[in-house]
Amino acid sequence: MRNSLRIAVSSPNPSASQRLIDTAGFLALEWAAPFAEVVMADDGDIVVSGEVRAIGGILRMPASESKRLSESLIELSVEAPLELIEDGKGNWDIDPELSNWALLRAVLRASSFTPSTAEGAAISSLIKAKLDPPQEKEKLLATADLWAKEIVDLAISDIATVDPNRIRSWLTEQAAELERTTSIHQILRSRYDDDIRRVISQ
């Protein structure tokens, strides 16, 4: 039995805007739950769709995703800033077959986004935040973090109700991992202190 928490992000709505919101939700959940397996799939302990509140998750994008974005550049084949326009169904004036990561690159390259839906309005706010004071980005981040933590709390609560033994096993594993990490930190700190004393004594 899998003990780790698996959170799946999926949506029955295939529009470009919803797929971008789902990607933002995926990134927000990865940051909020590093102990969990977060996937873009249709199966998990909990399956959720991204919400407009999650848009700030894009600002949590780790450097490890740069490879995916680099690969998506081949799909996008656009270097100049984009002026994106959303239609009433949540699609944009670009190839609808692009991957989620190519859509994300398009948004990161966009100089403007004209929305027609609630999802589009969230995307527009993200693009504007790139030019706004840092406080606007902080608001988007805080909102996305809160959304992600609510999802994680809901997932853990659901599992605890159905299979409390699994939660106990998972917590035991996490405690062991924390102890291991603390031990490594103490060893490294000791070596660091030894190096400092050696340098001072020279």
pLDDT at 1: 41
pLDDT digits (tens, 9 = 90+) for 181-196: 666 656 656 655 555 5
Average pLDDT over residues 158-183: 73
**d(C-alpha 98, C-alpha 68), whole Å:** 13
Count Cα neighbours of 51 within 13 Å in the Cβ-side half-sphere: 12
- The CA distance from 28 to 32, in Å, is 6
> pLDDT tens digits for 134-146?
888 889 999 999 9
For the chain, the domains span 6-162, 165-202
Q: Are strands 6-9 and 37-39 parallel, antiparallel or unpaired?
A: parallel
Instruction: Please report the pLDDT score of residue 49 as a whole number.
Output: 92
Cβ-count burial 113-143 (b if 16+ within 10 Å, e if not): bebebebbebbbbbbebeeeeeebeeebbeb
**What per-residue confidence (pLDDT) applies to 167?**
72
Of residues 198 and 94, the one with the higher pLDDT is 94
